[in-house]
Amino acid sequence: RNSNFLINRSDLQLGDVIGHGEFGDVHCGIYKSKKVAVKMLKNGMASDLLNEAKVMIDLRHPHLVELLGVVLDDSREVYMFTEFMANGNLVDYLRSRGRHHVERTQLIRFSLDVAEGMAYMERQHVVHRDLAARNILLDENFVAKISDFGLAQLIAQPVNESVRGKFPIKWTAPEALRQSIFTSKSDCWSFGILLWEIFSFGRIPYPRIPIQDVIRHIESGYRMEPPEGCPLQISHLMTDTWSLQPSDRPTFAEIVNKLKRFSGY
């Protein structure tokens, strides 16, 4: 199946820059007359980009951004392209619209979209490890999809050296920060932070706490207040995702059920 993803450079038309990623610029492009997003490579990052592609090849779900192809051309350039997500990333969207322009039902819809994508990942035994609103993209119909599988890996694999220490502290579960234990339960913790981002319209988590102090606060029991106007059911869910004990946190399957019951979808 992998070979189907290897595309000739000449089949991919490159357009303007639409974003800046860790690996390098993201361009729009056209492949088989379809609009796509192309991630290009900064020097020396080939293995990370290829890891991301390798993880994505086997994942397919309406709430995961779909990998369409990889180009490995003669001049050793590497591109990876995915479906084009016309409305960009969720955090920029929430910040630019703000609380007067995005309805609560839409916020719940975003949360459920992400939870459904994560429930699929949980069933596939893949851990994302970098779940955050900046890594959720919106398509032309504002359907939310999970992106950025650069740190994702099968659960069974140990954390490799190249990704150690790259984790976004404010989104990462304590046992993942302290002991590198990454599971769907550590993704669950990150999902709670993502919920907080959604219902605060894109604020940075723990606004008054310096990064280096976050873990100490968490371990002594501090948790963020629910954002202003956050529905009670959502703040309860946040609290559940932030249990210190990973086994006390809900599964994504349970989170999906709760959000469905709450929203009436």
Least spacing, CB of residue 82 vs ligand ADP, in Å: 5
Amino acid, res. 26: V
Rounded to whole angstroms, the Cα distance separating 70 from 79 reads 6
One character per residue 214-233, x = contact with ligand ADP (rule: CB under 6 A)? --------------------
Half-sphere exposure of 128 (CA within 13 A, CB side): 33
Q: Is 145 annotated among the ligand-binding residues?
A: no
Among 55, 79, 89, 129, binds ligand ADP (CB under 6 A): 89
**Of 92-151, which residues contact ligand ADP (CB under 6 A)?**
134-135, 137, 147-148, 150
Residue 169 contacts residue 215 (beta carbons within 8 Å):
yes
From the list 70-78, 80-88, 221-229, 240-248, the region that binds ligand ADP by CB under 6 A is 80-88
Measured from the CB atom, the residue of 51 and 135 that comes closer to ligand ADP is 135
Residue 128 contacts residue 185 (beta carbons within 8 Å):
no
From the list 21-29, 182-190, 197-205, 216-224, the region that binds ligand ADP by CB under 6 A is 21-29
One character per residue 164-203, x = contact with ligand ADP (rule: CB under 6 A)? ----------------------------------------
Question: What are 73's two structure tokens?
Answer: 């051309």
Rounded to whole angstroms, the Cα distance separating 171 from 186 reads 9
From the list 78-86, 117-125, 189-197, 254-262, the region that binds ligand ADP by CB under 6 A is 78-86
Least spacing, CB of residue 217 vs ligand ADP, in Å: 27
Half-sphere exposure of 260 (CA within 13 A, CB side): 9
Query: Is residue 23 a contact residue for ligand ADP (CB under 6 A)?
Result: yes
Task: Single out the catalytic residue among 48, 113, 130, 148.
Answer: 130
Q: In the annotation, is 25 catalytic?
A: no
Least spacing, CB of residue 88 vs ligand ADP, in Å: 5
Measured from the CB atom, the residue of 145 and 249 that comes closer to ligand ADP is 145
Binding residues for ATP: 39
- Where on the chain is the footprint of ligand ADP (CB under 6 A)? 18-23, 26, 37, 65, 82, 84-85, 88-89, 134-135, 137, 147-148, 150
Catalytic sites, residue numbers: 130
